[in-house]
Chains A and B, each alone.
Chain A
Amino acid sequence: MQAHQRMLDSTPNGLHSGESPLLQTLGLTKRYGDFLANDSIDIDIWPKEIHALLGENGAGKSTLVKAIYGLIQPSAGEIRWQGQPIVLSGPSEARSRGIGMVFQHFSLFDNLTVAENVALGLDGRESFKDMSARLEQVSKTYGLPLDPRREVWQLSVGERQRIEIVRALMQDPKFLILDEPTAVLTPQEADQLFIVLERLKAEGRAILYISHKLEEVKRLCDTATILRGGKKVDTCNPRLETAASLARMMVGGEIKEVKAAAGRKTTVPRLVVNDLSLAPSEAHGVRLEHISFELKGGEILGIAGVAGNGQDELFAALSGERLSKDPGTVVIEGIAAGHLSITQRRKLGAAFVPEERLGHGTAPRMKLSENALLTGHAASGMVHHGFIDTAATLKTVDRATETFDVRKAKRDPEAASLSGGNLQKFIVGREILRNPAVLVVSQPTWGVDAGAAAVIRQALLDLASAGAAVLVTSQDLDELAEIADRIAVMFHGHLSAPLATADATREKLGLLMGGSSLEPKEAAHAVGA
């Protein structure tokens, strides 16, 4: 009841006396073996409220909303809907009560049409034809344009999210859960989404908004509940807090500030890409179109862009996972390397950190020492006359552990047993300890806790200070603003000319991410796509 009292105090206008919340969890607990994913969480959600759920990865946000949406059964505690205790047998019961959800990793079917995808999210009481008509009506009403006959794989990420939202709205929910909805959107697309959310709120609906973007939460949300390590830390009014105070509650301490060394000097070009074009290797892949840039030693170039615009393809072309017919398209340390294999490129002094930690960056079921060997065998003295120097591989693990504060249960565990942040620190550390001349890194802090993210960003800055050329692909504009000297944007396989970070405003980057150019004429009527 104490939590409830706090709510009354902290909710704007101090309303709600005499009413009961729309949805309430009381002591909600979810246990996986010995691990408490949710530890006795109380949360109250009122109509006409946008309620933020804040927390780091692994804080228990997803588990909590899965329980509220009926996807998992809580181990203990109670969920109340309009004052009545309920037990949800599954998502369809949640939907029929008026609880809708928009997933972070979209729950869409790539090879089905928009209309079929929407139909699958409904209970099928109306005919397909009626449903299609209603779909068009809802998408028009809320300004979320969709073509019901197109297949999902043809659509952009923003359009895919629209499907999810329209699907949820077609059930006329009283309560809508959105799981990190802006993670994949351009700033302009995010603004459009906020307009829709404000409108839903004005219609009397409640929204639970999961995010870790604090500025966004301060701008949009009326209430915020913060989780940490499976426990509720606090419920507060985010508008009365600062981003720093919210971050402190999320992390449970201060986050080290990332600092660039003063007076970093750029030297010779170490990575040059000349007019690189490459056909896609997969059915739904992106074609790289005439990509050119030059990256000097001591410099960090950031590549922004909505996921799926060719970043993966560019990484593959740079790392040597895909070869280019023309050797001159990729030049590493002055040597044409477009036709060279990944090992040969490593020998030239390049190092690569792919986006996916498990399965691409490491072999999940192999030990860290073996994973160190996998990228270090060519150029790091771990192999002598074809035999593995086990001591050297273990030493690499120890050095990475020490330098980058990798926390693990034993000296040399399997890669899969590490948490995301610790594994990422190990992978980045493994490459940095090889003293690369060129480091290409993709999404360095994706899904990593704030503490580890700070360590990794600092390491990248330090590496650049030591004279290396660093290429960082990221969807997190704040991250790029923090570490990059210049930022370029990928869209549909094209790479824009890099902007100096000081000039790269969110608006400019957002326009580029949506495929507009920065010419004033076109910029006037160009938003997202």
Chain B
Amino acid sequence: MELIEAIILAVLAASTPLLLAATGELVTERSGVLNLGVEGMMIVGAACGFGGAWLTGSIFIGALFGIVAGVLMSLVFALMALGLAVNQVATGLALTILGIGLSGLIGAGFVGERITPAVHLYIPGLTDMPLIGRVLFGEDAFVYFSIALIIGVWWFLYRTRAGLILRACGDNHVSAHALGYPVLRIRTFAVMFGGACAGLAGAYLPLAYTPFFIPGMTAGRGWIALALVVFSSWRPGRLVVGAYLFGAVTILQLHAQGWGVGIPSQFMSALPYLATVIVLVLLSRARTGGSTAPAALGTVFVPDR
């Protein structure tokens, strides 16, 4: 019992940064922009988030620092890819390289420092319930926020007019422009939202996952988030499945290695990727038709005036 509970808790903790970053990227890509700089925005968010928390002693302010850092990074991307119509792939890759360098610089003074990590919810009675108590009522604020956020994004995309307009920009920017929608402004907001989410996802790592900062601590999570968006065929529901599945297999294979299963550890380490790809491919095979990717994804738009 104790073990199962511990595993579920670890799964949630491992999945939350993926879910946060992927939620932001999903919105960005739905508007038709491919920002490959998630990893870079995350790692800068991690450095600034830790710095903010270490300086002020407040996890909340740390998280805000992380968000602001992610937004600033995404604005660099928006200026290049949207304002100057530079190739989005190249700009995104450059943003990641910039972010890794920048985070090392920002975080240099914090390496080796520790903070008190984010507190977990405690409701007497509820949290003490066996098995599900701590899973449902004993998480930190990031976990609850990430779930609320993806539900909010789903509602925004499919139930609001603004969400419809954003999807329209991602499907056909020429048409959206012809109907009088400010394509570049809408995309800039979407990119900024993606930056905010990536920054928060990065900040989660030193603020809640491990209470210290080390350079390169995002360890490729930004890339996994990007892949999750693609394999979820840009749908919020599938994104949740993919993110938690990836987290789950990551934790389970660690435990399995600990139990001494006779399978090479390299193969076990590859399992999360394999399992996520297989499940999401099976899910998307049941699609109804139409193209799954936003049709204008990654294409440059320059309005004629």
Q: Which residues of A contact B (CB under 8 A)?
A: 70-73, 90-92, 95, 103, 105-112, 116, 119-121, 124, 128, 151, 153-154, 283-284
Tell me which residues across on chain B come within 8 A of A72, comparing CB atoms: 304-305
Q: How far is the CA of A110 from the CA of B289 in the complex (A)?
A: 11
Q: Tell me the complex Cα distance, A111–B295, Å.
A: 8
Verify if B179 is at the interface (C-beta below 8 Å from A). yes
12 further contact pairs, Cβ within 8 A, besides A92-B180, A110-B295, A121-B179: A73-B305, A91-B178, A105-B174, A107-B172, A109-B172, A109-B175, A110-B171, A111-B295, A116-B168, A120-B176, A153-B290, A284-B290
Complex-state Cα separation, A119 to B172, whole angstroms = 15
B290, A120: Cβ atoms closer than 8 Å: no
- The CA of A154 and the CA of B305, in the complex, are separated in Å by 32
Complex Cα–Cα for A495 and B289 (A): 26
18 contacts between A and B (CB under 8 A): A72-B305, A92-B180, A107-B172, A107-B178, A108-B175, A109-B175, A109-B176, A110-B290, A110-B291, A111-B294, A112-B168, A116-B164, A119-B164, A120-B165, A120-B181, A154-B290, A284-B290, A284-B291
Tell me the smallest distance from the CB of B34 to a CB of chain A, in Å: 17
Contact B178 A110 (CB under 8 A): no
- The reply to whether the CB of B285 lies closer than 8 angstroms to some CB of chain A is no
Give the distance in Å from the alpha carbon of A71 to the alpha carbon of B178 in the complex.
Answer: 7
Q: Which of A110, A120, A128, A283 contacts B179 (CB 8 A)?
A: A120
Residues of A within 8 A of B295 (CB): 110-111
Question: Taking the nearest CB of chain B, how far is it from the CB of A159, in angstroms?
Answer: 16
Report whether over half of chain A's contact residues are helix, strand or loop; otherwise say mixed: loop
With both beta carbons as reference points, the residue of chain A lying nearest to B291 in the complex is identified as: A283
B167 at the interface (CB under 8 A from A): yes
- Using CB atoms, name the residue of chain B closest to A128: B161
Question: Which residues of A have CB within 8 Å of B161?
Answer: 119, 124, 128
Docked CA distance A283–B290 (Å)? 7
Indicate if the CB atoms of B305 and A110 lie closer than 8 Å. no
- Enumerate chain B residues within 8 angstroms of A111, measured Cβ to Cβ: 171, 290-291, 294-295
Q: Are A90 and B171 in contact (CB under 8 A)?
A: no
The 3 closest A-B pairs by CB, nearest first: A91-B180, A107-B175, A107-B178
Q: Which chain B positions have C-beta within 8 A of A124? A: 161
| Residue among A103, A105, A112, A284 making CB contact with B167, cutoff 8 Å | A112
Nearest neighbor of A105 in chain B, beta-carbon distance: B174
Q: Which residues of B contact A92 (CB under 8 A)?
A: 180
A109 and B168 contact, CB distance less than 8 A? yes
Which residues in A have their C-beta under 8 angstroms from that of B289? Answer: 151, 153-154, 283
Which chain A residues lie closer than 8 Å to B290 at the CB level?
110-111, 151, 153-154, 283-284
Which residues of chain B in 152-173 are interfacial with respect to chain A, using CB atoms and an 8 Å cutoff?
A: 161, 164-165, 167-168, 171-172
CA distance A107 to B180 in the complex (A): 11
Which chain A residues lie closer than 8 Å to B305 at the CB level? Answer: 72-73
Determine the distance from Cα of A338 to Cα of B289 in the docked complex, in whole angstroms: 30
Contact: A91 with B164, CB < 8 Å?
Answer: no
CA distance A73 to B290 in the complex (A): 36
Q: Cα distance A119–B174 when bound, in Å? A: 17
The distance from the CB of B172 to the nearest CB of chain A, in whole angstroms, is 5
Bound complex: CA A108 to CA B179 (Å): 9
Most chain A CB within a 10 A radius of its CB, from B176, B179, B290:
B179
Q: Are B179 and A107 in contact (CB under 8 A)?
A: yes
Which chain B residues border A119 with CB–CB below 8 Å? 161, 164
**How would residues 174 to 218 of chain B score, 1 for a CB under 8 Å from any chain A CB and 0 otherwise?**
111011110000000000000000000000000000000000000
A-contact bits for B104-119, CB 8 A (1 contact / 0 none): 0000000000000000
Residues of A within 8 Å of B167, CB to CB, are: 109, 112
The answer to whether A110 and B172 touch (CB under 8 A), given A70-B180, A283-B290, is: yes
Q: Complex formed: what's the CA distance from A108 to B304 in Å?
A: 19
Nearest-neighbour CB distance to chain B for A74, whole angstroms, equals 12
Minimum distance in angstroms from A281 CB to a CB of chain B? 14
Which residues of A lie under 8 Å from residue B304 when comparing CB positions? 72
Interfacial chain A residues near B172, Cβ < 8 Å: 107-110
Query: How far apart are the CA atoms of A217 and B84 in the complex, in Å?
Result: 43
Q: A-facing mask of B273-305, CB < 8 A → 1, else 0?
A: 000000000000000011100110000000011
Q: Does B164 lie within 8 Å of A107, measured CB to CB?
A: no
